[in-house]
Amino acid sequence: MATLYTYSLTPTTLGCGATANLTLTIVNSGAAQTGGRQTIVLQIPTGTGENALTPSISGISVTASTATTQAGWAGAILNGRSGYSLKLQGPPLAAGQVLNFGINTVAINTAPGTVVLPITEQFTNPMGTTSLILQKQFLDLQILSFAPEDAFTSVPGETTLDWTVQGGSYTVLLPNNVQRPTQGTGPFSDKYPVSITVGPSTQFTLQLWTDNHQYITANATVYAGTVSAALTNNSLGPVDLTAPVTFNWSSNYAVAPLYLSPTPSGTSKVNNSGTMTFVPGSMLTNNASSLTVTLQANGWQSPAQAVTSVFFNPVQILWLRYSDSTKTAVTWGAKNYISRGTSLIQTAGVWTLTAAGPGGPIQQQLGPVSAVQVQLFTATPSSPQIGDTVTLSYSTANALGLTLNGAATPWDATTQSGSTSFPYAGPSLLTLVATGTGNTSVSSLLSLPF
């Protein structure tokens, strides 16, 4: 028996392998219908063959237009003895009334052919039947490529998705819901920047749509790169406290700024890679032999830290001696010392020099004590000219041996004083070392000319 209502399903031509949104339209072209609730059944052939529409009804959703819903009609996919079907129910239609249902996200199988979808009006006796016919064919619809420019990125971070498509009218990028038109008949390339806010990965879907509500999809994944950091310095060994040192750093998948500390300004905010030169010894406040600098980088599975250390030459007392033979005033010199904690005090005629710095504090005494001392070390004249005869004079206490610039001297150390003369050949540094009991020693540095 013929149906009372007329039926149409669009689009009528479907792309093999595409996903389609179908629209079922029902029209009462005749007189108004009366009676109770009506049921209409649309069979959905499933499978992979040429006469099947879709391999599975999984993912298919059914929607109704606002007017259809207000008219009291609804639909649902059912699995019955004769296979899958769309069952529609509602009150009789008035003359000229139209119903619209969406059969959405239908995955069309890959076999070209003709699909027949039987319709049965179960509210008549006998039941009215008809069929809708759809054609499946290969469409010129291709996503040739879809990938991020950076497969790994920082979190939060950004990258750009690139794609090339052929056919279709527009693309839709999900989950951003960005629609972009395609251009031309050949391959068309486009790109779009995206933000990555979570890890370990974010998936994006590109849909290539036709004007008749069919589309194909491709997926691309952007991964959160695990943040890492590296930090080095250019000191090849121990350095003096006054030596500048250059620090070099780099990072992967870090979110700027990074944090470098300590620096002369405290904790410095820095870029993902770079260099910084400063004097690490200027920040030493104790007797530590090294300074450790830390780089912290934030990002996915953060923070990442990298450290590098600068090692310092030890503090040295270069000399502690009387200014002249009256032995009423003293002069001293030190190397690699820090002012805080360095002091010279006199107690009961004994001068004690304490020098703070790497490996310190160290001490040296001058006066009536048992420690070995270089009490005087002078040159006459004090500002010689080239060729002048210079006389070196010294006075020690408790010395058992002497060296001058690391070599033996002509002096008898046990006499605790002496002098020698030599022709002056130019500026030089003279170091007198006196050794005492227990192999203890002190040095006294004299610079010519003064």
Architecture of domain 229-311: Sandwich (2.60)
SS3 415: helix
β-pairing, 142-148 with 74-80?
A: unpaired
Domain ranges (residues) in the chain: 6-137, 142-224, 229-311, 316-448
CATH superfamily of 142-224: Immunoglobulins (2.60.40.10)
What pLDDT, on a 0 to 100 scale, did the predictor assign at position 371? Answer: 95
SS3 439: helix
Is the domain spanning 6-137 CATH 3.40.50.300? The answer is: no
Specify whether the CB–CB gap between 254 and 229 falls below 8 A: yes
Phi, psi (rounded to 5 degrees) for 130 = -160, 180
Which residue ranges in the chain fall short of pLDDT 50? Answer: none
Task: Give CA angle at 406 (400, 410), nearest 5°.
Answer: 55
Nearest to 87 by CA among 20, 39, 45, 128: 39
Q: How many CB atoms lie within 10 A of CB 341?
A: 16
What pLDDT, on a 0 to 100 scale, did the predictor assign at position 450? Answer: 54
Q: What is the chain's alpha carbon radius of gyration, rounded to the nearest angstrom?
A: 47
Would you say the pTM of this structure is higher than 0.75? no
Specify whether the CB–CB gap between 166 and 140 falls below 8 A: yes
Compute the distance between CA of residue 267 and CA of residue 283 in angstroms, rounded to an integer.
Answer: 12
Residue type present at position 267: T
β-pairing, 428-435 with 417-423?
A: unpaired
How far apart, in Å, are the Cα atoms of 400 and each of 175, 286, 371, 417, 435? 87, 34, 11, 12, 6
Four-residue CA torsion sign, 153, 158, 159, 165? positive
What pLDDT, on a 0 to 100 scale, did the predictor assign at position 124? Answer: 87
| Identical topology for domains 6-137 and 142-224 | yes
What pLDDT, on a 0 to 100 scale, did the predictor assign at position 103? Answer: 97
How far apart, in Å, are the Cα atoms of 285 and each of 289, 290, 376, 380, 446? 11, 11, 32, 40, 29
What pLDDT, on a 0 to 100 scale, did the predictor assign at position 426? Answer: 86
Architecture of domain 316-448: Sandwich (2.60)
